[in-house]
Structure 1
Amino acid sequence: MEDQREHQGPPWRRWVERTGRSPAWRSALVVAVLAQVGSGWAERAQTGRVSLDWFARLLLLLGPALLLLRHRYPVAVVYGVAVVTLVYVGAGFPYGPVFVSLAVACFAAVIAGRRRAAWGAIGVLWAGHLLIGHWFYRWLPPAGDGPAPWAQELGITAWVLAMLALSELVRVRREQWARERAERAAAERRRVDEERLRIARELHDVLAHSISVINVQAGVGLALLDTDPEQARTALTTIKAASKEALGEVRQVLDTLRSPGDAPRTPAPGLDRLPELVEQAAAAGLAVEVAVEGSPRALAPGMDLAAFRILQEALTNVVRHSGSRTARIGLGWQRGALELRVDDEGPATGDPAGGSGNGLVGMRERASALGGTIKAGPRPDGGFQVVARLPLKAASIQEDP
């Protein structure tokens, strides 16, 4: 309903919202009224000029009428208004607001990027006025008129230059505003892309780890269903717990996606949940040893989440792709960095286990976003090793209360 109300406004308002320009008829109407009324005042002040008649009134209307097309045909309009103004001046009618139409037409031409046309039209008017005021005045009305004073020509020249300078200034400002709008739009697109990438990483990490545990335990349950029902029951219990946790974390990610401005209902996982991660790995048949070096510190939520997800993905890869049933996690709290290390003895099973192949890519993206690095590859003595180094910047560490 709100969108319908927005589209029910007057057409000229929708045009302004779409183009960023006011409708041409409004300014043209103002110029027409100003030309008619102001020229009447000029007639009373300039007794030596030709009195306004129907032809003068028609010329004073023709200039603003041409302004209605200035956005669509800026070049034709600016030259047309220059000719109309020159005819008005050549007919000997009083000087006055007749030049306003030309100012608006030149302004529109410069804004539209037709600077040469604006300068050309001004040149035509200026040259024509010089010829009329200093040569053709002998044969043009009013009768007995003399040459125009040069001070008047200097004043007209100054007015022309000021008008063109103002037009150029507005053009430059509009181009600057357009660049700023484009930069804001590009920044908004980058934020959207970064948020989409963050959500994709979260979903991948949650689902990859949980589905890997479920896959392993389902295989154990099927293998022991007839020979060892109690062990099969344990495997099914593990599947239930892993699926429940995965559903909870997926729901949290989707809630954030639905309401990006709201805070998440549950805290994001961090290194404080490392014991749970070790238990989940144990349920999948992987014994994990944890070694801590240095003094642990409280991390900012983003750094804490990234460290947890990197360890989670590394253990998931061990469960999926390694024949080893043991793994070692090392947390190295150094002065300026946190080093995360995950080792397994191998060998590689060569079984893809339904993986998407994005695990290492996701880990590298998380580390890179925080200014860190990831090294992953086979160890010289066999097995596989993942080493992540995350810089501990001042803004990434929370002071303990």
Structure 2
Amino acid sequence: MELDQVTRGRLADATLAVVVGALVATAAAFDDGTAPVDYALIALGSLALAAYRSAPRAVLAVATAATTAYVLHAHPGALSALPVLGAVHTAARVGHRGLAAAASAVFLAGYVATGPTTGEIVERVALLVGWFLCALVTGLADRNWQAYLRQTEQRALEAERTREEAALRRAGEERLRIARELHDSLTHSISIVKLQAGVAVHLARKRGEEVPPALLAIQEAGGEAMRELRATLEVLRTDEPTGTPALLVERARAAGLAVELRVTGDERPLTATVDRAAYRIVQEALTNAARHAGPAKVIVQLDYSVGELTIRVDDDGSAARTRTPTPGIGLTGMRERVVALGGTLHAAPRAEGGFSVRAELPLDGVGEAV
């Protein structure tokens, strides 16, 4: 099984601590007079490095104290400074520069107090000072690099958010432009057709003549076209759904459609894209049922599972199971919304009669619903 990032980091820290301890202990084995207490101090100072991510100051204190005590007791070589070097580097990396410098000074003072010959002390202290300076500088450089990476990531996220906002703004402007064009062109034309048909019907009835069925059909179709156009313009001018599937069911029921809502699973808030898609799917399915199913009963079912929302709208209307549905704008738009979220859609007549719409939407929708 693949390990997560936190576990891999802890294993890497423990490995580093063991390697440092092994190096110092191996060097101590070649020194005369190394006692068991010295190995215990080496182990304490080295293995403390395994916790440097969670407690860098505590690790710095433990490593400095244990390693300095080991140096004062056993008078080892310069390699004994490795645990303190590691602790100084990690402390400087997280911003504790003063503490890191103080720990370096404490260890160097303890090392000087071991009392080697003058030539040896100058050579070893100069070497250790160089090492500690490198540890401080590399720790600070690593800190600055991590800060630069975080800033770069934040700028990238901000740029992505800005692009998304610009795309949404352009989409909204395009919707408004289309709404204006439809209103200025189609609304006028349909109003003229409806008005002329109404006048013709009125004149025929005034003269006592029978109104031709075609004329009545034109009048009714004109009114229906006007209502649908107004609904379309309202959708184009509205960026987000203004309700919930439950509200859609209530509206459909108030309009005379026999509809029932069933919710199963653990109902919970949805992301904006999934919520918008669910609203539009239920809206379109209920609209189709009201137009084409006749006096039918409709069941809207929302099933919340662990990672998926299943929407099912079934009616027992007049659709024949052998009749293949013609994909109009409504079904096409519904399918586009579902596919954009990485889901699946099935819309077809039921075997027992009527029509069924079934949409399966991942709750972590991968795209932006259209």
TM-score with structure 2 setting the length = 0.52
Question: Does the CA contact (< 8 Å) of 1:220 and 1:232 recur in 2?
Answer: no
User: Could you give the per-residue CA deviations for residues 324-349 of structure 1, whole angstroms, max 9, x where no partner exists?
Assistant: xxxxxxxxxxxxxxxxxxxxxxxxxx
User: Could you give the per-residue CA deviations for residues 292-316 of structure 1, whole angstroms, max 9, x where no partner exists?
Assistant: xxxxxxxxxxxxxxxxxxxxxxxxx
User: CA distance change for structure 1 residues 258 and 208 in 2, over 3 Å: closer, same or farther?
Assistant: farther
* Alignment partner, residue 63 of structure 1: 45
C-alpha RMSD over aligned residues: 3.9
Gap runs ≥5 in structure 1: 1-7, 17-21, 138-144, 261-401
* Alignment partner, residue 27 of structure 1: 13
* Alignment partner, residue 198 of structure 2: 226
| In structure 2, distance between residues paired with 1:165 and 1:156 | 14
| In structure 1, distance between residues paired with 2:163 and 2:330 | 23
2:167 paired residue among 166, 183, 195: 195
2:54 paired residue among 65, 72, 94: 72
Question: Does the CA contact (< 8 Å) of 1:42 and 1:96 recur in 2?
Answer: no
1:255 Cα offset (Å) = 5.1
1:84 paired residue among 54, 66, 79: 66
| In structure 2, distance between residues paired with 1:184 and 1:242 | 42
| In structure 2, distance between residues paired with 1:103 and 1:239 | 80
| In structure 2, distance between residues paired with 1:192 and 1:155 | 55
| In structure 2, distance between residues paired with 1:9 and 1:207 | 53
Aligned length: 231
User: CA distance change for structure 1 residues 77 and 242 in 2, over 3 Å: closer, same or farther?
Assistant: same
Identity over aligned pairs, percent = 14
Answer yes or no: is 1:15 the counterpart of 2:3. no
Gap runs ≥5 in structure 2: 202-214, 237-327, 342-370
* Alignment partner, residue 125 of structure 1: 107
1:184 Cα offset (Å) = 0.9
| In structure 2, distance between residues paired with 1:257 and 1:120 | 62
Question: Does the CA contact (< 8 Å) of 1:69 and 1:77 recur in 2?
Answer: yes
| In structure 2, distance between residues paired with 1:31 and 1:70 | 10
Alignment of 1:1-400 (within 5 A): 9-10=2-3, 13-15=4-6, 23-44=9-30, 46=31, 50-95=32-77, 97-130=79-112, 132-133=113-114, 137=115, 146=117, 148-211=120-183, 213-228=185-200
1:87 Cα offset (Å) = 0.5
1:129 Cα offset (Å) = 2.4
Question: Does the CA contact (< 8 Å) of 1:86 and 1:129 recur in 2?
Answer: yes
The residue type equivalent to 1:225 in the other structure is A
1:161 Cα offset (Å) = 0.9
The residue type equivalent to 1:114 in the other structure is H
Question: Does the CA contact (< 8 Å) of 2:60 and 2:87 recur in 1?
Answer: yes
The residue type equivalent to 1:123 in the other structure is A
| In structure 2, distance between residues paired with 1:256 and 1:191 | 21
User: Could you give the per-residue CA deviations for residues 98-121 of structure 1, whole angstroms, max 9, x where no partner exists?
Assistant: 322222222221222222221221
TM-score with structure 1 setting the length = 0.48
Question: Does the CA contact (< 8 Å) of 1:28 and 1:64 recur in 2?
Answer: no
| In structure 2, distance between residues paired with 1:114 and 1:258 | 52
User: CA distance change for structure 1 residues 226 and 252 in 2, over 3 Å: closer, same or farther?
Assistant: closer
